[in-house]
Structure 1
Amino acid sequence: MLKKIVLAFSIVAASASTTYADSVDIVPENLSDEEKLYGLSLFWKEVSYNFAFFDQVPDLDFDARYQEFIPRVLATENTYEYYRELKRLNALLQDGHTNIYYPKGMSAKYLDWPAVRLAEAGHQAIVTGVEKGLESVIPLGSVVVSVNGQDLQAYLKEQVMPYIASSTQHILWSIAVRDALGGKPDTMAEFSIETPDGKVKEVQVKRDARGREVEYTSIKQPASNGELFEFKWLESDIGYMALNGFHDRAIIDQFKSHYDEIVKSKGLIIDLRFNTGGSSAYAGEIISYLADRILQGSVWKTPKHIAAYKALGSFANQFEQFEKYRPYAEGTMWEFGEDPEDIVEPKSDSNHIVPTYVLIGRNTVSAAEDFLVYADSLEHFTTVGEPTYGSTGQPMFVDLPGGGTFRVCTKRDTFPDGREFVGYGIKPDILVESTLATLRSDKDEVLDRALNELRAKL
């Protein structure tokens, strides 16, 4: 039985009912200085009181950076630039669950991209898809070596990464490469590539892919089937189960409807590589059918503020009796979860206990990571792939002037023994890294490795 239900939000923000968003039909071209300053100050205030990961950015003086951004936001000439500045400040927090969101529909006016898909491996940008007809100009498997005449890595660090909110370096690079060619709609993306046969060439492609149907020619990449749940047989005794999201309770019903077939397998592969999260309760419910012991989920804490104790703590240097209040004054006091025992009990004596390999990767996020926390003590589980996204928590949503919102991660989750995974990602038992060679192939190296390991075990 699941004794505690905690929501672990997907990296994709849920739609929020907000005062500004409801009252703004058209995004204003520019905001007043008062609105700009208010929005910046509101963000600074809520982050200062509620953010759960300041210790992971020890060199960040957030108060000083807030002051630095006052003239920056006041100098912006339109609402889009204003939100870009907020994104830049937000990115300094280095957290994937603390974000600035544009007003609905605003980015379409200012941002587009060419019909070219890029994927990251080893800090390189590899072309994995282009609009049909462009493949002779931009061969699949080419590597982008520069953008706007600047070396790719330098360009990403200076022009792209400063606006990305990410808890981990591997996800920062992944998102930066994905967004490397974005820019103003209907302008030309100018970049150079090295083709698979070693030739270097300059390329120009119009940024016009947003909002239109694009037929791509692509290198075949591992992907979900687009459904919430999938079960199939890889071999006569090896089953494959994809859990592609914990955002919809329907995944539990679909799992249960296939359970009689799942239990026929002598070995099982669970694919979490495309699960961007949702509710940890759904993760716990499913794993309760696959466990042979009681499982403990993540433990959590949240910043704690008591105004009077903060006042007393400010006198700790002068009066020893106030020393116990010092953490309140320094903002380092924590409130631990009301029920630290996030427990999942095995569903029944007939649970399915067979060698199980769990595929994980960069898009294993939030509640999908909570699934792995539950599974950590299961000896028949082995994880294969790349480190996970490394971000989960309980964000609070707040309105911003002009119709946008921001969210702040208020909850800090760890393994039961205190091991951190937010800011790092959960590392697999068997590492299978993306490389230039694997991206250029049409093979699913992670699935193949898991299947070979499972065959040997069986």
Structure 2
Amino acid sequence: MIKKALLASLLIVSISVSAKEVVNPPYNLSNEDKLYGLSLFWKEASYNFAYFDQVPDLDFDSAYREYIPKVLATETTYEYYRELMKFNALLHDGHTNIYLPKGLSSNYVDWPALSLTEANQQAVVTKVKRELQAEIPLGSTIISVEGVKLETHLKANVMPYIASSTEHILWNDGVRNLLGGAPDSKVNFTIKTPLGELKDLTLTRNSRHQKIDKVSLKLPKSNGELFEFKWLDHKIAYIALNGFHDKKILQDFNDVYDEIKQSRGLIIDLRFNGGGNSSIAAEILSHFTNKGLEGSIWKNRKHIAAFKAWGNYSGKYKIYAQDNAWESGAMESLKAKENSHIVPTYVLIGRNTASAAEDFLIYADKLKHFTTLGENTYGSTGQPIFFDLPGGGSFRICTKRDTYPDGREFVGYGITPQVIIDRMPEHLRSEKDIVLYSAIKKLKEKI
């Protein structure tokens, strides 16, 4: 069984990590280091990246040449890493990332005292400093920044630095980072309140190192634990599987499985599961199927130097010369438990359902008593390979591509639920868990 290390914080939130702890990276790198770091990323991506076919208009070699003067012109290590992030983002992959040296961003980036959540390609204020609540009501939407419409500003100034396989995650992360900028600088923006009033505002980016009292909308979230179990009406059991990175979830699940077997209907919540070990996902799912299930199939690029040379002269090896030779395999088949529990089941999924949690869904694809409900999943998985960069940062390259057993792609798109409930601003303002409510309603009708 292939294992996938949980990188939820890397998948869902842009953070600064590094294979080496460098508390005080150099203010500016040497030109030799700058060029080496760019070249190392270009070399390893050229050799290992699994998804060049999903960026057919990208001439990666030409882009590399274009970025040589760009990185050499940077005046700080932070600017240098930002250029690397922009170069990396050209690959449009959520498992291929540049990570800043530890602590570097705190000197260069801050936000005003509010938080934003994306819904229907709108930036909704879901948390704000208590003293600003009257001026910026919760549920307001930002319609422009520095006099530029939201979408235009995002595509010009924010999204080019975001590595994402899917459009919905690009928007998700773009909105979250919308108002970031230099510490103590001002940001001007226009909001539309829930009552339709337009307001022009200016705030200071100074919240990062302060303890600020904020008020927030009550949004659906996990209970903070790996596992949650509770009873709902009509003998419906609800279980939340919030991570597959720790085997403790298996013990938590097994402790209540006999109770779960008393249910007439089941809801499995994967909306806050960023991944982990796919064998853990399969072990839990095996309790809810009465037949064997196939997992994803995978392939990665195959390099044999002599074959590549021969491919220039022989059709037999041409695919090697074209860098289009692949090694393939499949995840281990899942075997059903003898005492499995088969009842109508709704599986809640969303934009934060990623990696091994998506493997869970691929295994479950043929289960007729399962219905998926919610939003498209994160749409990125694979096996990254990591490298260190000058100055203390690092990068990773996705080396493996996964598909459904029949070859259907989901990386770059996300797994689409059978019942789609797109997140809307009014859902956030209602402070109701619309997805869970819909699943309960539909499940009651079935049982």
Alignment TM class, shorter chain as reference: over 0.9
CA contact (8 A) 2:192 2:198 kept: yes
Aligned 8 A contact 1:8 1:392 in 2: no
Q: Deviations over 1:150-181 (max 9, x none)?
A: 11110000000000000000110111011101
Structure 1 residue 370 and structure 2 residue 370: aligned? no
Which of the residues 403, 406, 409 maps onto 2:398? 409
Match of 2:213 in 1: 215
* Match 1:152 to one of 150, 153, 158: 150
Q: Count residues with an aligned counterpart.
A: 443
Matching residue within 41, 46, 57 for 1:48: 46
Q: Matches of residues 107-186 of structure 1 in structure 2 within 5 Å?
A: 107-186=105-184
Contact 2:4/2:355 (<8 A) preserved: no
Matches within 5 A, 1:292-307: 292-307=290-305
* Residue 347 (structure 1) shift: 2.1
Match of 2:413 in 1: 424
CA separation in 2, counterparts of 1:142 and 1:302?
45
Where structure 1 has 5 or more consecutive residues not aligned to the other structure, the ranges are 316-321
**Contact 1:270/1:357, CA 8 A, preserved across alignment:** yes
Q: Distance in 2 between matches of 1:213 and 1:375?
A: 44
| Structure 1 residue matching 2:382: 3-state secondary structure | coil
* Aligned partners of 1:91 and 1:166 also within 8 Å: yes
1:237-248 alignment, distance < 5 Å: 237-248=235-246
Q: Is the 8 A contact 2:243 2:272 kept in 1?
A: yes
Deviations 1:233-280 (A, max 9, x none): 122501110011111111111111111211111101011001111111
Q: In 2 relative to 1, CA 183–233 (structure 1 residues): closer, same or farther, beyond 3 Å?
A: same
Q: In the alignment, which residue of structure 2 is the partner of 1:453?
A: 442
Q: Which residue in the other structure is 1:7 paired with?
A: 4
State the shift of 1:360 in Å: 0.3
Q: Which residue in 1 is equivalent to 2:80?
A: 82
Go from structure 1 to structure 2 and tell me whether the alpha carbon gap of 1:144 and 1:432 turns closer, same or farther (over 3 Å shift). same
For structure 2, the residue ranges without an aligned partner over 5 or more in a row are none
TM-superposed CA distance for 1:202, in Å, is 1.0
The structure 1 residue matched to 2:432, chosen from 440, 443, 448, is 443
Preserved CA contact (<8 Å) 1:8 1:280: no
Q: What amino acid is aligned across from residue 346 of structure 1 in structure 2?
A: A
The answer (yes or no) to whether the contact 1:242–1:271 under 8 Å persists in 2 is: yes
Worse overlay, 396-405 or 139-148: 139-148
CA deviation string 1:73-120 (max 9, x = no partner): 000000000000000000000000000000011011111112211111
User: Equivalent residue for 2:318?
Assistant: 326
Are 2:334 and 1:344 aligned?
yes
TM-score normalized with structure 2 length: 0.96
Q: Does the 8 Å CA contact 2:3/2:276 hold for their aligned counterparts?
A: no
Q: What corresponds to 2:284 in structure 1?
A: 286
Secondary structure of the residue aligned to 1:278 is coil
Cα separation, partners in 2 of 1:205 and 1:25, compared to 1, 3 Å: closer
| Amino acid corresponding to residue 116 of structure 1 in structure 2 | L
Cross-structure match for 2:93: 95
Residues 48, 11 of structure 1: CA spacing in aligned structure 2 closer, same or farther, 3 A cutoff?
A: farther
Per mean C-alpha deviation after superposition, the further-off stretch among 185-194 and 400-409 is 185-194
CA distance in 2, matches of 1:314, 1:440: 61
Q: Trace 1:377-388 onto structure 2 (pairs within 5 A).
A: 377-388=366-377
2:61 corresponds, among 60, 63, 66, to 63
In structure 2, how many angstroms separate the alpha carbons of the residues matched to 1:54 and 1:399?
Answer: 23
Letter of the 2:4 counterpart: L
**1:265 matched to 2:263:** yes
Shift of 1:308: 0.6
Q: Cα offset for 1:220?
A: 1.4
Question: Equivalents in 1 of 2:385, 2:89: separation in Å?
Answer: 17
Q: Distance in 1 between matches of 2:325 and 2:9?
A: 29
Q: Is the 8 A contact 1:9 1:394 kept in 2?
A: no
Partner of residue 195, structure 1: 193
> Which amino acid is the alignment partner of residue 251 of structure 1?
I
- Give 3-state SS (helix, strand or coil) of 2:9's partner: coil
Q: What does residue range 388-407 of structure 1 map to in structure 2 within 5 Å?
A: 388-407=377-396
1:361 aligned to which of 350, 365, 368: 350
Task: Classify the secondary structure of the residue corresponding to 1:268.
Answer: strand
Secondary structure of 2:131 counterpart: coil
Matched residue type, 1:7: K
User: Which residue identity does 1:368 align to in structure 2?
Assistant: A
| Structure 2 equivalent of residue 33 of structure 1 | 31
Does the 8 A contact of 2:18 with 2:101 survive in 1?
A: no
- Given the superposition, is the C-alpha separation of residues 208 and 442 from structure 1 closer, same or farther in structure 2, using an over 3 Å criterion? same
C-alpha contact 1:11 1:97 (8 A) present in aligned 2: no
Query: TM-score, with normalisation over the residues of structure 1?
Result: 0.94
Alpha-carbon shift at residue 440 of structure 1 (Å) = 1.5
Contact 1:111 1:182 (C-alpha < 8 Å) held by counterparts: yes
Does structure 2 retain, via aligned residues, the 8 Å contact 1:386–1:432?
yes
Instruction: Tell me by how many angstroms 1:198 deviates.
Output: 1.3
Between 212-221 and 116-125, report the one with greater CA deviation. 212-221
2:163 partner letter? A
Identity %: 59
In structure 2, the partner of 1:314 is 312
Superposition deviation, residue 16 in structure 1: 8.3
Partners in 1 of 2:38 and 2:122 — Cα distance?
A: 35
Q: CA deviation at 1:327?
A: 1.1
CA distance in 2, matches of 1:147, 1:396: 37
Q: 1:25 to 1:223 in 2, by over 3 A?
A: closer
Q: Select the residue among 274, 277, 282 that pairs with 1:276.
A: 274
